[in-house]
Amino acid sequence: MLYKVNRCVLCGETAPDTNTDGRFVTTSCPTCLAVFTIEFDPPDHPELRARIERLDDTDEGRMALARMREVVQDAGRSVRVRSR
């Protein structure tokens, strides 16, 4: 199955940069500078449609600072999306 993301999860920008690797899609928004990884149909939670994790943070100058996935998960900033 081909997974595609057409909008930024945070601001709704219609042209985020995306990189797809199987069921994982990493997005980078040029408007709000948000970086997300989206795991579609995670095998450890079959009831979820997608797991979304934010991988960035910004400094005082609003420049994006990449975060490591382990730090984001420990901070509890992941989002789970349930199937309809």
Element containing residue 72 per DSSP (H, E): helix 69-74
Q: 31-65: string of b/e by CB count within 10 Å (b at 16+)?
A: ebbbbbbbbbeeeeeeeeebbbbbbbbeeeeeebe
From CA 8, how far away is CA 67, in angstroms rounded? 18
Q: What is the pLDDT of residue 70?
A: 39
pTM value > 0.85: no
Q: What is the pLDDT of residue 54?
A: 85
Q: What is the pLDDT of residue 71?
A: 38
Regions in the chain scoring below 70 on pLDDT:
57-84
31, 49 contact by CB (below 8 A): no
Please report, rounded to a whole number, the percentage of residues in the chain having pLDDT higher than 70.
67
